[in-house]
Structures are given as structure tokens and as C-alpha cells.
Amino acid sequence: MRPLVTGKPFFAIASFAHRWIFGMEGCRFYGWAGFFFGCGSLITMTIVSLDRYLKICHMRYGTWFKRHHAFLAMLFIWLYAAFWATMPLVGWGDYAPEPFGTSCTLDWWKAQASVSGQSFVMTILFFCLILPTIIIVFSYVKIIFKVKSSAKEVSHFDTRNKSSHVLEMKLTKVAMLICAGFLIAWIPYAVVSVWSAFGEPNSVPIAVSVVPTLLAKSSAMYNPIIYQVIDCKPACAKSSCFKVLKKRKHYNTSR
């Protein structure tokens, strides 16, 4: 939601004006906000995937993980994102308008101009994309193998433990789909950005660069859809409101 508030109004106004009209300071703010919330979202999903991995594959972990651990994890996530997003503002890297001119992002093209620019791009690619992606993939692959190997054990659980296991698996499925949606939305943008940074200058046509950007910006709409399809639908089906509507529909049909 916050990227929608801090970024989308600038993008919409600039799109109607057919150019960036907020100056370099506005460009840096827009770029900082986009990178801050994007990085924070990915690191959040990385921490969630680790939590799912530890709870499913190392069940004793769930007994000592308390609320204050969650607060510490949240503090780490946003300090981590703030650190990397602020680096371009203090001289390591920079923010610049995108090729189509209606939004701003990291200055990927600076990698072709200086060693400092190359080191910045390679560092953020590793710490803000490659490393989190490796952790996410590792966590869910281990979960899949664990679930397959323990399928027979679950059948011997009592009702309470079985319900708890089903809930954990449901939460894991939601988290897995959210991570997959985020990575599918952002990886094409990352590929085009890396190509712009280390490939031939102007080798990516402007029309081609727009598509990954729009796909990345669409990632904000995936989470509500996933929650609605997987999480909210069963709850709605069991709610008293749904039952009343169902009875009313049956009554009207019988009349």
C-alpha cells in the first residue's frame, strides 16, 4: 500500500504530462521510495520463507519463537532496506529517470561510466536480489521434500495436531505463492536492468523496457488476489453471513 501512496501519484502525473516534471530531488525521492519498499518487501518474504522452513522442517523452533523476535525481525528488515536505498543518496550509485521518462529508478547506466557504479550495481544485485532469492528457493524446496517425506506421519497425528499441521501448510502455501508472484513480477525487470548496466548502451529499446517496469509495478495487486483465493474464501464460506445468504437464497428458490 505504501508504494502506491509514495510512488504511483508521481508516476500517474508524469505519465499524463509525458515527461518527468518533479526535478532531480523528486526523482531521487521516487527512486528511494521504490527501492526501499521493494527491497523491504523481498526481505520480508525472505524472513517469512525462513520462518516457514524452520517451523515445518525443525518443529522445535516454533516453541521458542516469540512476539519480540518478530519485532526484531521487522526492525532488521526495514533497517536493511533503508541502508541499501540510502546508499545512492550519499554518493555510492544514484537515482535517475527511466528511459521512457515518466518514472525514476536506480541509475543502472552508471555502471558503464565508473568502477564505483559497477561495484554498487553488483553489490545490490547480490544482497537485494540474488541472496534473498536463493534463501527463498532453498526454504521452499526443503519444505516440499519434508512434506513428501512426512506425509505418512501426519496421518497418525491426533485431531488437534493434524489441524495445526494443516494450518501451517496453508500458511506456507500462501507465503510460497506470494514469493513466487513477487519474483515473477520483478525478475524480468532485474534482467533488463542488468542488461542496461553491463550490455551495449541503448541496446534495450524503450518500448521493451516499459513492459518489465509495468509488470514489476503490478506486483502490488497479487497479494490481495492470493489471500482471497486461498485464505479468505474458506473463512467466508464458514462465516455466519455466508450461511444466512445461502439460506435466504435457498428460501427464495423454494418459493
Decide if 197 contacts 111 (C-beta within 8 A): yes
pTM attached to this predicted model: 0.77
Contact 183, 49 (CB under 8 A): no
The predicted-structure confidence for 82-94, as pLDDT tens digits, reads as follows 999 999 999 898 9
Type of residue found at 66 = K
Total number of domains in the chain: 1
Residue 114's pLDDT is 83
Collapsing DSSP to helix, strand or coil, 198 comes out as helix
Determine contact, residues 120/110, Cβ cutoff 8 Å. yes
Rounded mean pLDDT of 29-39? 91
Domain with 33, as residue range(s), is: 2-254
The pLDDT of residue 235 is above 80: no
**CB neighbours of 108 closer than 8 A, spacing ≥ 6?**
121, 193, 194, 196, 197
Q: Say if CB 55 and CB 61 are below 8 A apart.
A: yes
CATH number of the domain that residue 82 is part of: 1.20.1070.10
pLDDT of residue 178: 81
Average pLDDT estimate for 48-71? 80
What mean pLDDT is predicted for residues 7-16?
Answer: 81
pLDDT number for residue 172: 77
